[in-house]
Structure 1
Amino acid sequence: MKIIQPQPEKSLYLFEVDDVLYPHRDFILQIYYLFGQFVEFTESRPIGSMVTEFMKSRYEANQTDDLLGATKKEFELSQDYSENFERLQANGHLPLKLLLFDEIKASFQALTDAGKQIAILTEGNPVLQLNKLKHMDWEGWDKQLKIYFTDELVFRKLAPFSYIADEFGVDADAIEYIRKR
């Protein structure tokens, strides 16, 4: 990603989370680690690091369809861990902070220096997305950011861009949305 340069016609910049603010890989690999440790404890077998490595290699090979099923089969797991895996993603406490891309920090600074407003607009399960956000090392940027969850706004029958434009007192055309391409 490149540094976002302020545009004269834009006054509000909305940023997606995954692979925009930070590398999503950093989150999911920590979840795989936590999951491996959980499986090791539950199964009472020393397989945590092998489970983590198996899941990581499948992820990196872009083979994540039915990842839990493949993991269960590979390690002959005695139970379905789907609920536990989902719970870890939504509520797990990550061992390491998620670090903002350097380009994002520079973009935030450039936009702020130009008098532009910045906020987060993220799609997906709000609980899961919030868990990611609370594990980020914001370096103080979180104190001046509002966070919006697309799914929550749509559930409330609100059009996200119109709602956020009203909140900030800007025209919807003055919003720039930065997301993974």
Structure 2
Amino acid sequence: MISYKDIDPRTKAFIFELDDVLYPQKDYWYQVYYLFAGFLEYTEMLDAQVLVKLMVQTYDQEGPNAVFDRVQQRFKLDEKYRFNFEHLKTAAQLPLKLLLFEDMLTLLQEIVVDRKKIFIVTNGNPQQQLNKIKQTDWQGLEKYLVCYFADEVAPKPEPDIIHLLLTDHHLERRDLVMIGTNETDQLCAEACGISYLKV
């Protein structure tokens, strides 16, 4: 857990990845699976509970890219449903708001109180990432966030998006701290010559 008081007070801005850094990514996927299962129950008369269980199990064991294929194999689903699934993945209206990790919420609030800048620099489909951001309960912090979608330039660990951010906001590398959870973010921070903190 990162404590704000332990971070160099000279830091002017913080860069966060979104998934599994600010909120648990599975909270998004599980709700997508719930919605897709409900759709299949209505169109194909399949058991939604069985579908959700299979999708969650596949996600946990093989990751999100394997989910549709497993459902298709198990239930002999028509390929046409892949379109519906892909659409839901990027544009789902979730039943529940996505909740920030408690310690990340506290950290973001402390950064705002100290009048420092907050950037979200996220990899992945920009439409999907924006959909997640819109459906997160930011508890009033959303007006302090500036978001960059790395895939619109070059996905991290390529440093291009950070260079763009530095230019846009007239910041120096020493002003920044990147906060992430995986090797991609760490390599990106190293490539840019900025500090990195792992959560």
Task: Read off the aligned partner of 2:177 and give its amino acid letter.
Answer: E
State the percentage of identical aligned residues.
34
Partner AA of 2:169 in structure 1 = F
Residue matched to 2:190: none
Runs of 4+ in 1 over 4 A off after TM superposition: none
For structure 1, which runs of at least 5 residues remain unmatched after alignment?
A: none
Aligned twin of 1:87 = 87
Query: Aligned-pair RMSD on alpha carbons?
Result: 2.0
Aligned partner of 1:177: which letter? M
After TM superposition, list the pairs within 5 Å mapping 1:1-181 onto structure 2: 1-4=1-4, 5-43=6-44, 45-62=45-62, 64=64, 66-154=66-154, 159-181=160-182
Q: Distance in 2 between matches of 1:14 and 1:93?
A: 27
Q: After superposition, what is the alpha-carbon deviation per residue over 1:107-145, rounded to whole angstroms, capped at 9, x for unaligned?
A: 112222333211111111100100111110010000111
Q: Tell me, in whole angstroms, the C-alpha distance in 1 between the residues paired with 2:143 and 2:37.
A: 34
Q: Aligned equivalents of 1:74 and 1:173: distance in 2? A: 52
Q: Residue type matched to 1:169 in 2?
A: H
- State the number of aligned residues: 178
User: When the two structures are superposed, what TM-score results if normalisation uses the length of structure 1?
Assistant: 0.88
Write the letter of the residue equivalent to 2:92. G
- 2:188 is aligned to none
Give the match's secondary structure for 1:154.
Answer: coil
TM-score (norm 2): 0.81
Structure 1 residues 27-64: Cα deviation after superposition (integer angstroms, max 9, x where no partner): 11001101101111221x14222111111122233465
What is the rounded CA distance, in whole Å, between the counterparts of 2:67 and 2:34 in structure 1? 14
